């Protein structure tokens, strides 16, 4: 396709099918095609990739696109080829190609057929690739995900630091374009210095995504909250981010067990699994992807309706970019983050082995995450301030689109305290960080306060009657409102802005602050409630419990089995708590699995559904089944071992279990409705007459308790272990 003679609008229509440019795209392209170094800071969904794809198609030569991820390169190349051009128009050159494929790519580039060549910085660093690129006509170099250059960015890659020397090694005069979706003023400066493009034309779009609703929740029963939210938004696409691979698999399993179409994604899976899971999400075969941050870069799915951070991320840049994957089509986008300060402490521990400078950067980035989570200010205003942008939280586009703005906390008059705060900052000559300032005001004799002898200051302890958290909240709000700034270059020291100096010279009559959220107390209270409910037994509907027991007795008579064979008491108690109204929900009840639900469940689910409707009961619909991956693997191993008639002692030994633990696992398996045939083991150790005697006892018994069986059958005659094995056989044959 020859676009060299077309206008920019003509080429846009011809190649991409769009009638008009989006935002600043046209100005960016004109800057690049005029030979200028160009720096583009544009939020996710703003159309960054078109800024280099269109000029690459229009100019002579091949554009080099430097990109950090193989999956991202493949997506981009597939996308360009889908516009109906020949395959050779775009290629990637990376470690996933074999020698034949590499030769083909180089031939297409040399022949002038390739307009875009995607490379990882590691590939650009190879001597043979550098020599090859020197021999071809390069139109320009685009550095995508440019924040990877900066150690202050959320995805720092050391190999990005060498891009400048590699570009200069090819040609001193190639125009360079850098693109990123997240850049604080500090990161922006870092990128420009490192790429040698301090004179570049800078195009910075607004970071405001007015259609996104931001919310932070206490991490109390987070899995349950997630399930409830997803079930209330059936059929909508969403991404859940976790920090560890283990947590990704655990949450994905939990969602699946609760009837939600979800898949895991992380870098530990092989390429085929990652690709398959990603494609199933894009093609809407599944609704939810649970992922580490390895998922999402360059994923062009416009209708992601929610992004949930199960764990708080390591930086606000990372958070902003990940939430930016919601609502790219301008439609609904809900961004929910679960916060518990203990998670932040874990992240800090992970930094301990790293170089001191890296630890300092990491801790400052985490401080900002904590500030965002705990602030009672408009979250949108807070985020945009972080990226160097002001926002009018009353009339701005997207006002009221966060939990704090839509449900504001009570304001406190704080003018005298602010004067005191600013006085302390002046006294210590703007040379210290937030925590040090608050320690002075609170009269806390920390090691740093003692070292600088600030415990001798006149104002030391002048604000000790006020909660240190409120001092910190006031300080953060002064930063967000532009009275103070953090000097990032100098470890986050707090300094005055011109607006702050004006405040000191002419203080206003009034100044209000909000109290920060105190999520820790919510989490502590939740733990107390949980432990007390465990000890006392959770509240249940006694009327429903009586009805369930009557139904159990009736079914037991029909089947000619003891009532406990149908469902044991703990299962009925859980039903009277959770109100399951479908077989799917019934499977999640304690002691009820697939087998039991299918065999006995329907009349129970029907009874509960009728009871819920007649009594207008609001039920806790989302019953979380804790799916622990290694336990489910153990269960499968045990069932397969029994199918192969392996002695139970050997099964226990192979899994490092005591025999008592194995019996416990077998009891769980048969109680939840799975049939196990352990006759091959029992027949070797228990006479047939004794087996029949125990079977007849349990057929007549009112409860399945081993203590009662021992009392009736005689402790001298039977051991508890023997009775447990025979009860497993009985439950498996009669109940399942």
For 576-617, the DSSP string reads HHH---SHHHHTTSTT--HHHHHHHHHHHHHHHHHHHHHTT-
How high is the pLDDT of residue 271? 80
Domains by residue range for the chain, with CATH: 8-204 (3.40.50.300), 212-406 (3.40.50.300), 411-516 (1.10.10.10), 538-614 (1.10.150.80), 629-735 (1.10.10.1390)
Residue 538 above 70 pLDDT?
no
What Å distances lie between residue 361 and 44, 150, 553, 609, CA to CA? 24, 11, 66, 55
pLDDT tens-digit series, residues 340-364: 888 888 888 888 778 887 888 888 8
Contact 432, 424 (CB under 8 A): no
Mean per-residue pLDDT of the chain:
86
| pLDDT given at position 709 | 85
Contact (Cβ atoms closer than 8 angstroms) between residue 230 and residue 287: yes
Asked if pLDDT for residue 528 goes beyond 70, the answer is no
Max avg pLDDT among 82-96, 452-466, 488-502: 452-466
Residue 121 has pLDDT above 80, yes or no: yes
352 vs 506, higher pLDDT: 506
DSSP string covering 446-503: -HHHHHTTGGGSTTTTTTTTS-HHHHHHHHHHHHHTTSEEEEGGGTTEEEE-HHHHHH
Sorting pLDDT into bands at 50, 70 and 90, what band is 201?
A: very high
Flag whether pLDDT at 69 surpasses 80: no
* More confidently predicted of 388 and 626: 388
Question: Scanning the structure block, which residue is given the tokens 């009657």?
Answer: 465
Amino acid 2: pLDDT:
61
Q: For residue 24, give both structure tokens.
A: 């600043």
Is residue 102 within 8 Å of residue 128, measured between CB atoms? no
For residue 412, the surrounding DSSP H or E stretch is strand 411-413
pLDDT at 56 exceeding the cut of 50:
yes
Predicted confidence band of residue 529 (pLDDT cuts 50, 70, 90): very low
Q: Are strands 176-180 and 201-204 parallel, antiparallel or unpaired?
A: unpaired
Please give the structure tokens belonging to residue 588. 């999640």
**Least reliable range by pLDDT among 118-132, 217-231, 476-490, 608-622:** 608-622
Q: Is the CB of residue 652 less than 8 Å from the CB of residue 678?
A: no
Q: What is the mean pLDDT of residues 431-447?
A: 93
State residue 629's pLDDT score: 42
pLDDT for 122 equals 83
Q: Is the per-residue pLDDT at 458 higher than 60?
A: yes
Residues 413-432 have pLDDT tens digits of: 999 999 999 999 999 999 99
By three-state DSSP, how is residue 543 classified?
helix
* Of 63-67, 531-535, 597-601, 608-612, minimum mean pLDDT range: 531-535
- Is pLDDT at 171 greater than 60 in this prediction? yes
The pLDDT tens digits of the residues spanning 621-659 come to 655 554 444 455 678 888 888 888 888 888 888 888 888
Nearest Cα to Cα of residue 415 among 498, 347, 503: 503
**Average pLDDT score over residue span 431-458:** 94
Is pLDDT of 537 > 50? no
Region 582-599 average pLDDT? 83
- What would the 3-class secondary structure string for 120-157 be? CHHHHCCHHHHHHHHCCCEEEEEECCHHHHCCCCCCCC
Band (534; pLDDT cuts 50, 70, 90):
very low
Amino acid 628: pLDDT:
44
Percent of the chain past pLDDT 70, that is, above it, reads 92
- Mean pLDDT lowest for which of 100-109, 159-168, 276-285, 366-375? 159-168
Query: What long-range pairs does 277-282 form, CB within 8 A, spacing at least 24?
Result: 278/71, 281/237
| Residue 533 predicted with pLDDT over 50 | no
Choice among 73-77, 257-261, 524-528, 723-727 with the minimum mean pLDDT: 524-528
3-state secondary structure of 110: helix
* Chain segment 669-715, per-residue pLDDT in tens: 887 778 889 898 888 888 888 888 888 888 888 888 888 888 888 87
Strand partners, 493: 487
Q: Where residue 542 falls among pLDDT bands split at 50, 70, 90?
A: confident
Cβ atoms 564, 549 nearer than 8 A: no
pLDDT tens profile 234-282: 989 999 999 989 899 999 998 998 889 999 998 888 888 888 998 899 8
């Amino acid at each position: 396709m020859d676009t060299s003679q077309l206008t920019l609008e003509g080429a846009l229509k011809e190649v991409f099918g769009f009638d008009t440019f989006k935002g600043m795209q046209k100005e960016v392209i004109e800057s690049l095609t005029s030979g200028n170094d160009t720096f583009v800071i544009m939020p996710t969904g703003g159309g960054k990739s078109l800024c280099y794809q269109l000029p690459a198609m229009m100019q002579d030569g091949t554009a080099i696109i430097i990109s950090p991820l193989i999956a991202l390169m493949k997506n981009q190349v597939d996308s360009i080829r889908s516009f109906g051009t020949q395959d050779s128009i775009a290629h990637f050159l990376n470690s996933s190609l074999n020698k034949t494929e590499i030769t083909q790519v180089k031939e297409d580039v040399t022949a002038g057929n390739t307009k875009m060549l995607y490379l990882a910085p590691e590939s650009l660093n190879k001597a043979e690739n550098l020599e090859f690129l020197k021999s071809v006509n390069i139109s320009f170099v685009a550095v995508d995900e440019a924040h990877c250059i900066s150690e202050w960015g959320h995805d720092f890659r050391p190999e990005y630091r060498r891009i400048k020397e590699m570009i200069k090694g090819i040609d001193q005069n190639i125009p360079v374009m850098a693109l990123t979706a997240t850049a604080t003023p500090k990161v922006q400066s870092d990128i420009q210095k490192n790429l040698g493009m301090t004179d570049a034309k800078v195009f910075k779009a607004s970071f405001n995504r007015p259609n996104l609703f931001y919310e932070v929740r206490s991490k109390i029963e987070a899995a349950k909250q997630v399930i409830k939210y997803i079930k209330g938004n059936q059929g909508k696409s969403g991404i859940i981010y976790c920090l560890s691979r283990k947590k990704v698999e655990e949450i994905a399993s939990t969602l699946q067990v609760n009837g939600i179409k979800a898949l895991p994604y992380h870098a530990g899976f092989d390429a085929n699994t990652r690709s398959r899971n990603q494609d199933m999400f894009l093609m809407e075969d599944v609704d939810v992807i649970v992922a580490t941050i390895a998922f999402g870069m360059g994923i062009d799915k416009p209708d992601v309706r929610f992004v949930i951070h199960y764990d708080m991320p390591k930086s606000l840049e990372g958070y902003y970019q990940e939430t930016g994957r919601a609502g790219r089509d301008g439609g609904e986008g809900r961004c929910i983050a679960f916060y518990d300060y203990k998670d932040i402490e874990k992240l800090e521990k992970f930094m301990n082995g790293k170089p001191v400078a890296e630890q300092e950067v990491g801790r400052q980035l985490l401080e900002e995450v904590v500030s965002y989570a705990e602030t009672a200010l408009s979250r949108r205003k807070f985020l945009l301030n972080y990226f160097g942008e002001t926002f009018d939280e009353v009339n701005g586009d997207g006002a009221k689109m966060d939990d704090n703005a839509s449900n504001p906390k009570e304001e406190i008059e704080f003018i005298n305290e602010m004067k005191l705060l600013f006085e302390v900052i002046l006294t210590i000559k703007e040379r210290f960080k937030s925590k040090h300032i608050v320690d002075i005001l609170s009269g806390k004799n920390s090691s740093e306060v003692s070292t600088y002898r600030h415990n001798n200051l006149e104002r030391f302890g002048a604000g000790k009657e006020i909660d240190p958290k409120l001092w910190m909240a006031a300080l953060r709000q002064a930063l967000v409102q532009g009275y103070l700034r953090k000097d990032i270059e100098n470890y986050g020291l707090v300094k005055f802005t011109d607006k702050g100096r004006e405040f000191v010279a002419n203080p206003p009559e009034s100044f209000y602050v909000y109290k920060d959220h105190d999520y820790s107390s919510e989490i502590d209270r939740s733990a107390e409630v949980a432990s007390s409910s465990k000890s006392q037994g959770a509240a249940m509907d006694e009327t429903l419990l009586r009805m369930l027991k009557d139904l159990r007795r009736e079914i037991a008579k029909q089947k000619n089995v003891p009532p406990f064979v149908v469902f044991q008491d703990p299962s009925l108690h859980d039903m009277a708590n959770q109100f399951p109204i479908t077989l799917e929900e019934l499977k999640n009840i304690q002691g009820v699995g697939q087998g039991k639900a299918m065999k006995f469940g329907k009349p129970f689910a029907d009874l509960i559904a009728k009871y819920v409707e007649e009594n207008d009961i609001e039920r806790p619909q989302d019953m979380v089944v804790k799916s622990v991956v290694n336990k489910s693997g153990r269960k499968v191993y045990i069932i397969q071992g029994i199918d192969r008639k392996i002695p139970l002692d050997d099964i226990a030994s192979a899994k490092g279990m005591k025999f008592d633990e194995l019996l416990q696992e077998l009891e769980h398996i048969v109680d939840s409705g799975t049939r196990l045939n352990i006759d091959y083991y029992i027949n070797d150790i228990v006479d047939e007459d004794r087996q029949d005697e125990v079977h007849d006892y349990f057929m007549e018994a009112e409860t399945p308790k081993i203590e009662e069986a021992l009392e009736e059958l005689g402790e001298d005659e039977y051991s508890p272990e023997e009775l447990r094995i025979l009860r497993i056989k009985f439950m498996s044959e009669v109940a399942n």
